[in-house]
Amino acid sequence: MNPTSQRLILPLLLAALLAFPSFGSDFYVELVAKTLVLAIFAMSLDLLVGFTGLVSFGHAAYFGIAAYAVAMITPKYDPASLWLALPAAIIAAGLAAFVIGLFVLRTKGIYFIMVTLAFAQMVFFLFHDTNLGGGSDGVNINFKPDAAIAGWAPFDLNEPGQLYYFIVAALVAVYGVLKLVLRSPFGRVLIGIRSNEHRMLSLGYATFYYKLAAFTLAGALAGVAGFLYAVLSGFVTPELLAWHQSGNVLLMVILGGMGNLVGAIAGAFAFTAMQEAFGAWTKHWQLAMGLAIVAAVLFLPGGLSAIPARLKRAMTGEEK
């Protein structure tokens, strides 16, 4: 997508998101809110997969750790403070990514994929097999975090409408942070690493530390998504950390087109839409969805974000 069309489309999309609760039913408002959370998750993974060239197959670990952080920090009979729970969730996810990154970033290619998966599975079993977070049954979050600052509450996350706008704001903030990072000297180095890491080394970049910083940031931003998911659903289970979840978010990034933040958002919407549509149509929806994804990868290389350029080429009759 070229910059001018993005500049036009983005405000329109945002306006649509902001207006949606006034005509969508409660069910759809919650579905869109859930999808926006997944979009944040997908954008955080795109920083690694699409921009740094690191195909992480264990990104759900950081999403899940943040969700569990909310559950653990929330007292049984009281809400936790939003201003404590949100940073705690982000820091927990970022810290986990930092520590795991120290190990996994020593590997490359297929080994990186497998080792990120292995670490995520370790985290999965940590929550699944111990009583740390309620074991395999998961744990309820009885109260949504309280936004009050010294007795004054700017908004109330118990109101579905206000929670929806809080999630939209988080999406815009994460998008903004990533855009800023990607145009900064740091982001330029990440894109250079994706293109040719060896050259970056010989140009004097200690690429390991750049990749570690990217991995940590991506984990922390996945933590934002994990936090929102826990708040939205009021319930966390080990499934949030499972490899299915890592695979799903990777599919969202691929569907949307790697290395494009708007694509990652589009990928999350396409994924949820397919899940809903096929789910309503047949109980074998996963089979239908698998076929649809195979078709998308075969016939739409570059993902959804490549569609505008393809349309333009088709209309002007230009070759490649």
Interacting residues with other proteins (CB under 8 A)? 180-181, 183-189, 192, 195-196, 198-207, 210, 213
Residues 276 and 13: their CA atoms lie apart, in Å, by: 21
Closer Cβ to other proteins, 9 or 201, answer by number? 201
Q: CB 7 → other proteins: shortest distance, Å?
A: 16
* Whether the Cβ atoms of residue 65 and residue 72 lie closer than 8 Å to each other: no
The amino acid sitting at 175 is Y
Residues 6+ apart with CB under 8 A from 241: 60, 61, 63, 64, 65, 120, 123, 124, 127
Write the burial class of residue 8 (CB in 10 Å: 0-12 exposed, 13-18 middle, 19+ buried). exposed
Q: CB 309 → other proteins: shortest distance, Å?
A: 15
As a whole number of Å, the end-to-end CA separation of the chain is 15
Q: CB 207 → other proteins: shortest distance, Å?
A: 7
Q: CB 210 → other proteins: shortest distance, Å?
A: 7
Q: CB 53 → other proteins: shortest distance, Å?
A: 12
Alpha-carbon distance values, 200 to 45, 131, 218 (Å): 22, 45, 21
Residues 15 and 259: their CA atoms lie apart, in Å, by: 24
Q: Rg of the Cα trace of the chain?
A: 20
Closer Cβ to other proteins, 198 or 283, answer by number? 198
Q: CB 183 → other proteins: shortest distance, Å?
A: 5
* Whether the Cβ atoms of residue 93 and residue 222 lie closer than 8 Å to each other: yes
The SS3 assignment for 144 reads coil
Closer Cβ to other proteins, 61 or 261, answer by number? 261
Looking up tokens 């921009």 gives 51
The SS3 assignment for 258 reads coil
Q: CB 200 → other proteins: shortest distance, Å?
A: 8
Closer Cβ to other proteins, 200 or 268, answer by number? 200
* Whether the Cβ atoms of residue 261 and residue 251 lie closer than 8 Å to each other: no
Closer Cβ to other proteins, 106 or 183, answer by number? 183
